[in-house]
Structure 1
Amino acid sequence: MKHYAVAVIAGDGIGPEVMAEGLKMLKAVSEIHGGLAFETRSLPWNCQYYATQGRMMPENGLDILREFDVILLGAVGSPEVPDHVSVWELILPIRRAFQQYVNLRPIKLLKGLESPLRYKRHDDLDFMVVRENTEGEYSNMGGRLHPGTPYELAVQNNVFTRYGVERIVRYAFKLAVETGKTRVTAATKSNGINHSMPFWDEIVREVSLQFPQMDTKLYHIDALTAYFVSRPESFDVVVASNLFGDILTDLGAAIVGGLGLAPSGNINPEKTYPSMFEPIHGSAPDIAGKGIANPIAQIWSISMMLDHLGHRELGKLVLDSIEAVLVEGKVRTPDIGGSATTRELGGAIREQLYRRGG
């Protein structure tokens, strides 16, 4: 029996609701396989914890997480706690301390769904975005000066290191090779950001020389966002800096059906530290507690987790089960045109899993 220790941070808003369905799916995967055991531990680190403790996780929180194989996150955020507190005191410290320098997000139109881009088919919308996850525009460098005065100022520094850029770009090329793809596209803005982006471009070109079989292109971010809409079929693997990748992946989620369908992995490829898997939809306080949140992104993130752990056949089984329910079309949450509850959709996906894997 192979055992995996899984830290569970359900978080805020709809996080606990979708996480409950994700954990049921994880149990079902274990039962179907017969040789895997997922030992989960729930950690109550969220905005309510912040309200009582004055911090998003305990002082030794990273030490606690370091002992796990992987981390499952639901969603973090509350109207009562500013986002720069909830994100910067929980999610970003985890990503950085555990060198989760790859944020991997599939942009895939699932079978059974139609894209808002009505003229695009499923084969047109199936690529990966690799986002640099530990430096770039979200680096905690800078500050404010002369607060409360007419000459108050704020400085936020972008930090791009050769080490950081090289490893994320190389990961993107290796991912293309491993998945049988032929195209790598890099986002830039070197015509407007005259130091960090030319540096990024130079490293992309240097690394591309090691992969001469790849069709490598650099596009300015404004043009690239337009191409995501007008010609998404031209992409296989897209690599971008922290900010650009963040924007592109939300757009990518929109063109394949919405944030409720969008998973992500914060990955430490070397597996020196635990990686973290999560939906990207946020805590959605407007629908929290109503039982109508879409659990697909959370369940799909578990599929990505299984891929990362080396169980790709199980990851595919989970994804196939999601698509089978969508193709059938009987059980859907309101965000994708139905009236089902979170539990009903999660249960339908598990039923498909047992049917296919039993």
Structure 2
Amino acid sequence: MTTVVVIPGDGVGPEVTDQAVHVLATLGLGLDLDVLDQVNADRFLRTGVAMTDDEMERARSAGAVLFGAVGDPKVPDPSYARDVLLRLRFELDLYVNHRPAALLADRLSPLRDPALRALDCVVVRENTEGAYAGVGGVLREHTPYELALDGDISTAYGVTRVLEYAFAIARRSVCLVDKANAVPFGGGLWQRRWSEVSAAHPDVGTSHLYVDAAAMRLIQNPTAFDVIVTNNSYGDILSDVTAALAGGPGTAASANLNPRHGVGLFEPVHGSAPDIAGTGRANPVGSVLSAALLLDHLGHGAEADALRAAVRATVAAGTCTPDLGGESSTKEVGAAITAEVG
């Protein structure tokens, strides 16, 4: 039996994760769900503990982790979120952030031209280096002469392995996105590794765009892209652009992966959304589609496809939360998806 650790987290996380768990149970795959519902802001406020070593080990030993959201306005300390989500990403070396984006229904696209709406691409974001690696510091803090420095880290090892993953999943093409004209050292490293890795895949189309041009091109014609590969910070931004083009952040799923040792963490990208927590308005689609990615990861491809089809059918029928123009609650949307699966 495969163990899946479930971390509902904060805000709307428990609400949307609950619906994803219900749908998974409907599939009858015999997954053993290990729910760590004590990993949340309330415990951190009481004890100062974000995630214990035992909880971390349970996540490390599981086949996969289904994650809700982390963050609460009652906790201004940024170390809380770092010690949960970033700890999982870094200690498990989840170097790929895999963000698929596919338009669920034509009416959800913000683009005027119907011929350009059919977005279906993946943003592959390097997940353990870049500007989010936490390298830097502050001198003369809280003075008029304060100096703040954040390092943007790229290594040949880290860049090569994420490029190799991008080519491994490509259906037709890979587009490298960087800013090598303005960031020459890290950009130059990406360019050199790109030349070598792409040469080993002559059957895959390739292209290169600077990040500003890539953002513009996504808006002009998102159908031009199959796989986009880029660094941590650019991938963070561009994957939010693709989420907006696919229907909004409530529909966006992600996988944090290490294809070399098989660990995966799966989460919707909308965050804890504390302003709507407890109102029943949170969209569970991102969490359900994250569960579909989890099933892909565990080798249940047919069930994952059934889950995605159920989401599309539910959205097409108009059973949606308010962010997608509907009037249904979180639970009602989850029940409709479950019924479609059943």
TM value normalised by structure 2: 0.96
Letter in 1 for 2:332: E
Aligned twin of 2:325: 337
Match of 1:200 among 162, 180, 190: 190
Quote the offset at 1:275 in angstroms. 1.0
Partner residue, 1:15: 13
Q: Which segments of 5 or more consecutive residues in structure 2 lack a partner in the other structure?
A: none
Q: For residue 166 of structure 1, report the CA deviation from its aligned partner.
A: 0.2
Q: Partner of 2:112 in structure 1?
A: 118
After TM superposition, the structure 1 = structure 2 runs for residues 55-204 of structure 1, keeping only pairs within 5 Å, are: 55-82=49-76, 84-111=78-105, 113-121=107-115, 124-176=118-170, 181-204=171-194
Q: Secondary structure at the match of 1:317?
A: helix
For residue 51 of structure 1, what is the aligned residue in structure 2? 45
Work out the CA distance in 1 between the residues paired with 2:188 and 2:322. Answer: 44
User: What is the letter of the counterpart of residue 239 of structure 2?
Assistant: T
What is the CA-CA distance between 1:193 and the residue it aligns to? 0.7
Taking the aligned partners of 2:217 and 2:116, their CA distance within structure 1 comes to 17
Partner of 2:65, secondary structure, is strand
In structure 1, runs of 5+ residues without a counterpart are: 31-35
Pick from 314, 318, 340 the counterpart of residue 325 of structure 1: 314
Alignment match of 2:243 (pick from 245, 253, 259): 253
1:206-262 deviation per Cα after TM superposition (whole angstroms, max 9, x unaligned):
110001122211110000000110011111110010000000001111111110000
Residue 123 of structure 1 deviates from its aligned partner by 6.7
Matched pairs, number: 341
Structure 1 counterpart of 2:334, from 330, 333, 346: 346
Q: Which amino acid aligns with 2:44?
A: Y
**Secondary structure in 1 matching 2:307:** helix
- Counterpart CA distance in 1 for 2:115 and 2:261 is 36
Distance 1:123 1:112 in 2: 7
Give the fraction of aligned pairs with identical amino acids, expressed as a percent: 40
2:284 alignment partner in structure 1: 295
Considering only aligned residues, what root-mean-square deviation do their CA atoms show, in Å?
Answer: 1.4
Name the CA distance, whole Å, in 2 between partners of 1:93 and 1:65.
11
SS in 1 for 2:260: coil
CA deviation after TM superposition for structure 1 residue 307, in Å:
0.6
Deviation, structure 1 residue 310: 1.0
Given that residues 116 and 222 in structure 2 are in contact (C-alpha distance below 8 angstroms), is that contact kept between their aligned partners in structure 1? no
Shift of 1:168: 0.1
Change (3 A) 1:250 1:7: same
Q: CA deviation at 1:346?
A: 0.4
Q: In the alignment, which residue of structure 1 is the partner of 2:272?
A: 283
2:31 match: secondary structure: strand
2:16 is paired with a residue of what secondary structure?
A: helix
Q: Which amino acid aligns with 2:276?
A: I
Q: Which of residues 204, 225, 228 is equivalent to 2:218?
A: 228
TM-score by length of 1: 0.92
